[in-house]
Amino acid sequence: MLRSISKPPSNILYADRSGIETDWKCGMAYWWNRKEGGSGIVPVEEPIYFEVGRQIHDTLSAVAEGVPYQDILASLPDPSGLDYASRERDSRLRGWIIAFAKYVWPRWSRDFEMVKVEGELILDRSPLWIAYTPDLVLRGINKSLDTYGKLVYKEYKTTGNTSPSWVEHWDSAVQVHLGLKGLEEETGEPVAYGQIVGLPKGDYRKGRLMHPFVHAYTREDWWQPEYKYGLDIRPVWEYDSGIEGWIERCGEDFCAEQFVSSAPIFLDPRLVEGLVRRRKIREMEIWGYEKRAATDWKVRESHFEQRFSQCKPYVGPPCQYRACCFNKSVQDDPLGSGLYVKRTPHHEVEITLMRGGGNEAPTGAKQTDGGDQG
């Protein structure tokens, strides 16, 4: 690495991709998640979509690192004691793991070798450091392809939409460009492109999770993953040879379709530098006002703006901090409410800075008393 993540300068402005994206959606959600009480707070009950996302990253990373998928499956909780909804999610996860290990990863391995799995990296634009963590970095080994000798950056995302518009919209996702630029600078190697790998998560119909790794269409001994009129619906864990047998029954091509790749995302350095310039300004603002915002609601309101369209959006889950904004007693004491606990930082740089008691003044920054916020 080009920098020491374990010993960052004390006068840096720190940011990471998930924090930036949270701030874009709602400044107040960013406050609760990253600044409340010094390190932020999170709900006591983790939203299911966070748990599913973490499981996907952990298990697919293990496959890429060479862990046999049978060992990964054996490490999961025994599904027999789960309620039906949890059993559905368990079946989907097991199906994803087996299909990735048996069909998707071998396809990728014909053209690429694994370089890095979920290793934390830094885009250095001092005094701003932006941490990011590629899910997977590969290097091309097929001499007949344009990617030979170049790096490819991949990220996994569960999604309810794999339409052509989903496949095509990622080229403007500046956060991916940020990772591409950081990887290029960190390694000193050319990066061919980035790519999002979407895992369709299915949808709920009549109280059931409809996904080909969860429910199948059957008649007597005939099973198939896709809908056909006149067939009954059964959970795939009832298949005679189990979930692994069911994945083999689905076949390689069908299983590979459950991992939808976006169009290649080619680095545009202008987007990255524009983000960096704007983010420096925003991080200076955050650093300058966060002490006052901790005790003065008007200061917090002014500099961590609430975006009410995100509280309970028409599409997607409601904000996990709604109680903090709409319930005054929770707002005054979120930890005492029993609904939230202190957030545990995951990025090494952030952990180190917190252990050191926080940042010194970055170049050009000054703490403010907030001025007239009325």
Q: What is the pLDDT of residues 49-94, one digit of tens each?
A: 778 888 999 999 999 999 999 999 999 999 988 999 999 999 999 9
- φ and ψ at 159, to 5 degrees? -150, 150
Show the beta-strand stretches assigned E in the chain: 13-16, 41-43, 112-117, 121-125, 128-132, 136-140, 151-159, 191-200, 203-205, 208-210, 215-219, 222-224, 232-235, 260-261, 340-342
d(CA 230, CA 242): 24
pLDDT band for position 4 (cuts 50, 70, 90): very low
| Among candidate residues 371, 328, 350, 373, the one with its CA nearest the CA of residue 130 | 350
What pLDDT does 130 receive? 92
Residue 373 has pLDDT above 60, yes or no: no
d(CA 270, CA 272): 5
Residue 2 has pLDDT above 80, yes or no: no
pLDDT in tens, 123-150: 999 899 999 888 999 999 999 999 999 9
What pLDDT does 256 receive? 95
Q: Average the pLDDT over each of 5-19, 249-263, 304-318 and give the range with the smallest value.
A: 5-19
Helices (H) and strands (E) in the chain, counts: 15, 15
